[in-house]
Chains A and B, each alone.
Chain A
Amino acid sequence: MPNKDYTRIVYPLITLAILLFVWEFTIRYFQVPEYIFPSLGSVGKQLYVGYIEGTMYQHLGFTLQSMVIGYLIGCSLALILGVLIAESVTFEKFIFPFVVALQSTPKVAIAPLIMLWCGYGLLSKVVMVAIISFFPLFVNTVAGIRQTDPALIRMMRAFSASSWLTFHRVKLYAAAGHIFAGLQISIVMALIGAVVGEFVGSAKGLGWLIQSGMATFNAPIMFAAVLSLIFLGLAFTALVKFAQRKLVYWDRQPSGAPAKA
């Protein structure tokens, strides 16, 4: 087990400190107006108001809710449809062209339609997130199952294994690396979906904060919202990577990191 590499934590913090210093210095030196680029101080103050005094939790919670529920729905559908299409040629013929068509549609373009159908509340955001996070995982699931080593499938056939046994003992595991790569991409897309949904029509959420902040020239709150989104993105990506390390236990780089990032 390699020793914990403290430089991996310390060095980025140093870079961060430098960036924050450059930020504050540039603002003050060039006297940049607050409404264009807020100072470190005002963003810090907004974050304090938002999370210590608590005004932003309702927005964070709203975005988080639509993101998580939509992600779970989108990923479940992606896995189920992905497996069906990878395993059944008949099913593929029925469904695949429509999946491709939907995939080729920019989801951002259909966001207003979703608002029209589902209203301005949580439902429309969940639908948006589900649609947008569906595709990366779906594509990866199909690809992952299809690239199973044919030699392993042959081996199973040689021992008279059923298709079901070959599927759940071999193909599913062989696809695990691809599936987790898809889960990672999908979580980032889920965040984008939640924000886009809130841009198009919402009364709260981090995306709404950004948009309303723009309307009121409130740059600090826009920054604070973006930082919150970055935090969400990092946290969830780390969660997926952690799950990958635990579940895909056999596929390792020498450093202990998952072989398929």
Chain B
Amino acid sequence: MHQTLIASHAETSAEIAAEKVVINAAALSVTYETSSGPIHALSDLTLKVQKGEFVSLLGPSGCGKSTLLNVLAGLEVATKGSAVIFDTPIRGKPHPNVGIVFQKPNLLPWLNVLDNLLIPIEAMRKPKAQYIDRAHQLLKLVGLERFASNYPSELSGGMQQRVGIARAMIYDPAIILMDEPFAALDAMTRERMSIELLRIIEASGQSIFFVTHSIPEAVFLSDRIVMMSSAPGRIVKEVPIDIPRPRGLEAMATPRFAEICGELRGLYC
């Protein structure tokens, strides 16, 4: 699937249009009115995500990438422009076929891991009993099957974040938005989690929109990187990543990897 997408940049625009566009952000602007004048968090941003793609939004702190994710997640409303997910316009209301992973796991400390996983089910007013099997499957997928009855305080940061990822997948959304999910983890755990994430996604095949400020992380994970400038954030370039999948740690040691990282660094600095 990923090989096809890499080749698609050489196809005609008609063939590209035939691939389903699952996220379509057009001329998005987000402006905050403050006492010291308007703040432009996002300025005229246009981007698309295709079905099955792993797209990273890469940019420095404050460039508005989290704002863009919030708009797509339905947590903020854009001042101008449109955000469309699966042909549904998004205006302040989360799309039911989208899952979200936050920078901090945001697990409820008074619920055990299993109940935390089922929170989105409760929110959707569906019967929890129907999803218990899926919850256990997801725990197995993220490598935490023995921890279903544990409480978040008993888990490490990386483990909690894995629960957060499983929670985002409990209702099997076709898109997962991830807002710097590994930023709060130490560097070594971060690398391990990147590999884990690829393994998890490999099994399920969702479209991923991933926000990060780490160049190597974006290159390792993505099919395509959208590079943003610092505030007010604009798209500097879109860079396809032609490193073959499946990617293991050794991909990070290849010359092609360093080449792409260098190109991105050049764009940024």
List the interface of chain A (C-beta within 8 A of B).
Answer: 149, 151-152, 154-162, 165, 169-170, 173, 176, 249-252
Residue among B75, B100, B104, B106 with max Cβ neighbours from chain A (10 Å): B106
CB distance from B92 to the nearest CB of A (A): 10
- Whether B109 pairs with A159 at a CB distance below 8 angstroms is no
- Whether A158 pairs with B94 at a CB distance below 8 angstroms is yes
Of the candidate stretches B120-128, B130-138, B206-214, the one touching chain A is: B120-128
- Whether B108 pairs with A173 at a CB distance below 8 angstroms is yes
**B 20-39 to A, binary, CB cutoff 8 A, 1 in contact else 0:** 00000000000000000000
- Whether B75 pairs with A152 at a CB distance below 8 angstroms is no
- Whether A250 pairs with B151 at a CB distance below 8 angstroms is yes
Q: Which residues of A contact B94 (CB under 8 A)?
A: 157-160
- Whether A154 pairs with B75 at a CB distance below 8 angstroms is yes
**B 85-110 to A, binary, CB cutoff 8 A, 1 in contact else 0:** 00000000110100010101010111
Give the interface size class of chain B.
20 to 34
- Whether A160 pairs with B124 at a CB distance below 8 angstroms is yes
- Whether A250 pairs with B123 at a CB distance below 8 angstroms is no
CB distance from B116 to the nearest CB of A (A): 10
26 A–B contact pairs at CB < 8 A?
A149-B106, A151-B104, A154-B75, A155-B106, A156-B119, A157-B75, A158-B74, A158-B75, A158-B94, A158-B100, A159-B94, A159-B119, A159-B123, A159-B124, A160-B96, A161-B123, A162-B123, A165-B122, A169-B108, A173-B108, A173-B110, A176-B110, A249-B110, A250-B110, A250-B153, A252-B153
CB distance from A20 to the nearest CB of B (A): 44
Q: Which residues of B contact A154 (CB under 8 A)?
A: 75, 102, 106
CB distance from A168 to the nearest CB of B (A): 11
B73 close to chain A: CB less than 8 A:
yes
Given the known inter-chain contacts A151-B102, A155-B102, A158-B100, please indicate yes or no for A251 contacting B109, CB distance below 8 A: yes
Q: Which residues of B contact A161 (CB under 8 A)?
A: 119, 122-123
- Whether B109 pairs with A160 at a CB distance below 8 angstroms is no
Other-chain contact of A170, B73, B93, B108 (Cβ < 8 Å): B108
| Assembled-state Cα–Cα distance A149/B73 (Å) | 19
Q: Which residues of B contact A160 (CB under 8 A)?
A: 93-94, 96, 123-124
Q: A158-B75, A250-B153, A251-B109 are in contact. List 8 more A-B contacts (CB 8 A).
A: A151-B102, A154-B102, A154-B106, A156-B119, A156-B123, A170-B108, A250-B109, A250-B151
Which 8 pairs show the lowest CB-CB distances between chains A and B? A161-B123, A159-B120, A155-B106, A159-B123, A250-B110, A173-B110, A158-B100, A250-B109
- Whether B109 pairs with A169 at a CB distance below 8 angstroms is no
Find the B residue at minimum CB distance from A166: B123
Q: Which residues of B contact A162 (CB under 8 A)?
A: 123
| Assembled-state Cα–Cα distance A169/B96 (Å) | 20
| Assembled-state Cα–Cα distance A250/B113 (Å) | 13
Find the A residue at minimum CB distance from B120: A159
- Whether B106 pairs with A151 at a CB distance below 8 angstroms is yes
- Whether A169 pairs with B102 at a CB distance below 8 angstroms is no
Find the B residue at minimum CB distance from A157: B75
Q: Which residues of B contact A251 (CB under 8 A)?
A: 109
| Assembled-state Cα–Cα distance A250/B104 (Å) | 19
**B 213-245 to A, binary, CB cutoff 8 A, 1 in contact else 0:** 000000000000000000000000000000000
